[in-house]
């Protein structure tokens, strides 16, 4: 079968032929319908994740069960599924509560998930090591649904934790309207009535945010960005700032515009540092560094999509075009999420 492989740090991905795997005892073979192309893959390709290659990329996957390994019950061939992405030990406290994204044994397990240390879903088929990592998709199209397992789940997890602050008179800032940010705007619209201010450095992405229901959009690269956001937010300031970029400039912007008793969630991995000084960020600010989301939250995200409240904007490409798609992502030329379709 065809697969998009990470080889080693600093090398572009390669599209190669590898044998189709067979599920061992307790495992499931999933026929991939769609595999999302995530910005963090660029991080893997450029910097590695401390795990040796080669392995097949793709940590945002949906498809249909193709074969069950010995001993797997409760599922059948053809069932449409999303693959829960962060694979923990399955038995620690966090894993028992379905939050494998915060597994206590991450340091000692051989992979962070399919596509993140072991073979992922940018291929015709993928092995999922345990049925506990599958979530039923219902009638959702796997191509449209693949981004739910990261591009939607990650902002959902960040937003859900911030819900007590997201009251109708609150103002929320969303920075970076790419794969995660465009889902964040929709999740905020679906779950809160807070006012939404969306920032990006790309006009077409700002237009996208406006179409999805953002109340205000602004160019976050402008010198006047902080003043502009402060004017929009009024005396209370931004109540919740969601930074899906994580660059120094965006983290600094969050620090400058939040009010007292607010929350900053840094999700993006662009390498910025959050500096602390007395009252900066302002007193009462919670800073959070959410990572991905729980399996239970993935079920909730899938329900939001099934109810028609959120929908990933997807550009689909064949596996063959993966190298070019990563280049487009690097250059900011993807609207919403790119999904590879075997
Ligand atoms: Zn990702
Ligand atoms: Zn665990």
Q: How far is the CA of 107 from the centre of ligand 2 (A)?
A: 10
pLDDT value of position 132: 97
Q: What is the 38 CA–ligand 1 centroid distance (Å)?
A: 5
Domain boundary residue among 253, 273, 288? 288
Q: State in Å: Cα 94 to ligand 2 middle.
A: 6
Domain match, 56 and 116 both: yes
Distance 69 CA to ligand 2 centre (A): 23
**Cα 241 off chain centre by:** 17
Range of the domain at 276: 153-288
Q: Which of 39-43, 116-120, 147-151, 152-156 has the lowest mean pLDDT?
A: 39-43
CA distance 135 to 84: 7
Percent of the chain beyond pLDDT 70? 100
Nearest ligand atom owner, CA of 98: 2
CA–centroid distance, 226 to ligand 2, in Å, is 40
Q: Are residues 304 and 181 in the same domain?
A: no
73 lies in the same domain as 157: no
Residue 282 sits in a domain of what CATH number?
A: 3.40.50.720
Q: Is the peptide bond before 139 cis (omega within 30 degrees of 0)?
A: no
Q: Which two tokens stand for residue 35?
A: 């595999």
**257 C-alpha to center of ligand 1: Å?**
27
**Nearest CA to 250 among 303, 196, 201, 186?**
201
Q: In this structure, which residues have their CB less than 5 angstroms from ion ligand 1?
A: 38, 40, 150
Residue 180 banded pLDDT, cuts 50, 70, 90: very high
CATH number at 42 reads 3.90.180.10
Answer with the one of 288, 308, 326 that is the final residue of a domain: 288
Instruction: State the DSSP H helix or E strand holding residue 35, giving kind and residue range, or none if neither.
Output: strand 28-37
In this prediction, residue 255 carries a pLDDT of 98
Percentage, residues of the chain above pLDDT 90 = 98
Looking at all shown ligands, the one closest to residue 116's CA atom is: 1
How sure is the predictor about 46, in pLDDT bands with cuts at 50, 70 and 90?
A: very high
Outline where 150-247 has alpha helix (H): 153-162, 179-191, 203-211, 225-233
Section 129-133 average pLDDT: 98
In the reported structure, the alpha carbon of residue 334 is separated from the centroid of ligand 2 by a whole-number distance in angstroms of: 34
The answer to whether 71 and 95 have CB atoms below 8 angstroms apart is no
Q: Are both 38 and 97 inside the same structural domain? A: yes
Ligand number nearest to the C-alpha of 59: 1
pLDDT digits (tens, 9 = 90+) for 218-231: 999 999 999 999 99
Q: How far is the CA of 153 from the centre of ligand 1 (A)?
A: 10
N residues, the chain: 342
Ligand 2 centre to CA of 95 (Å) is 4
C-alpha 4 – ligand 2 centre gap (Å) = 28
Query: Do 282 and 302 reside in the same domain of the chain?
Result: no
CA of 297 to the centre of ligand 2 (A): 17
Give the Å distance between the CA of 43 and the centre of ligand 1. Answer: 10
Determine the average pLDDT of the residues in 113-123.
97
Q: Are both 168 and 140 inside the same structural domain? A: no
Q: Is 70 exposed, middle or buried (0-12, 13-18, 19+ CB in 10 A)?
A: exposed
pLDDT in tens, 292-338: 999 999 999 999 999 999 999 999 999 999 999 999 999 999 999 99
pLDDT above 90 (res 49): no
Same structural domain for residues 7 and 68?
Answer: yes
**Gap from CA of 294 to ligand 2 centroid (Å):** 12
At residue 51, the pLDDT reads 87
Q: Does 169 lie in the same domain as 137?
A: no
Identify the sign of the CA torsion 106, 109, 113, 116. Answer: positive
pLDDT score of 168 more than 90: yes
Same domain (yes/no): 172, 283: yes
Predicted local distance difference test score (pLDDT) of residue 79: 97
Structural domain count, the chain? 2
Domain limit, last residue, from 288, 306, 323: 288
Strand partners, 219: 200
Distance 185 CA to ligand 2 centre (A): 31
Are residues 145 and 157 located together in one domain of the fold? no
Say yes or no: 260 and 337 in one domain. no
Give yes or no: residues 133 and 163 share one domain: no
The arithmetic mean of pLDDT across residues 264-292, rounded, is: 96
Residue 129 makes CB contacts below 8 A (sequence gap 6+) with 26, 27, 87
């Amino acid at each position: 079968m065809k697969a998009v492989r990470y080889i080693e740090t600093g090398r572009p991905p390669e599209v190669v032929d590898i044998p189709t795997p067979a599920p061992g005892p307790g495992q499931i073979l999933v026929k991939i319908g769609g595999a999302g192309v995530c910005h963090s893959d660029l991080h893997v390709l450029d910097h590695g994740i401390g795990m040796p290659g080669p392995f097949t990329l793709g940590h945002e996957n949906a498809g249909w069960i193709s074969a069950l390994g010995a001993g797997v019950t409760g599922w059948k061939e053809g069932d449409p599924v999303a693959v829960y992405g962060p694979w923990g030990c399955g038995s620690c406290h966090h894993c028992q509560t379905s939050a494998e994204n915060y597994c206590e044994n991450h340091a000692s397990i051989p992979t962070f998930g399919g596509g993140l240390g072991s073979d992922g879903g940018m291929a015709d088929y993928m092995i999922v090591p345990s049925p506990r990592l599958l979530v039923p998709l219902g009638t959702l199209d796997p191509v449209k649904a693949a981004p739910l397992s990261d591009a939607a789940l990650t902002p959902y997890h960040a937003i859900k934790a911030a819900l007590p602050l997201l009251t109708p008179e609150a103002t929320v800032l969303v920075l970076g309207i790419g794969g995660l940010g465009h889902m964040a705007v929709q999740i905020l619209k679906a779950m809160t009535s807070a006012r939404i201010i969306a920032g990006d450095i790309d006009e077409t992405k700002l237009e996208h945010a406006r179409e999805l229901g953002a109340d205000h959009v602004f160019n976050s690269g402008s010198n006047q960005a902080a003043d502009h956001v402060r004017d929009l937010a009024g005396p209370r300031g931004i109540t919740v700032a969601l930074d899906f970029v994580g660059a120094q400039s965006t983290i600094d912007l969050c620090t400058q515009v939040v009010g007292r008793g607010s929350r900053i969630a840094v999700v993006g991995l662009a390498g910025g540092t959050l500096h602390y000084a007395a009252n900066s960020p302002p007193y009462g600010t919670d800073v959070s560094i959410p990572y991905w989301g729980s399996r239970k939250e993935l079920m909730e995200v899938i329900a939001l999509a099934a109810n028609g409240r959120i929908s990933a904007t997807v550009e689909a490409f064949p596996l063959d075009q993966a190298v070019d798609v990563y280049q487009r992502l690097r250059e900011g030329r993807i609207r919403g999420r790119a999904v590879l379709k075997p």
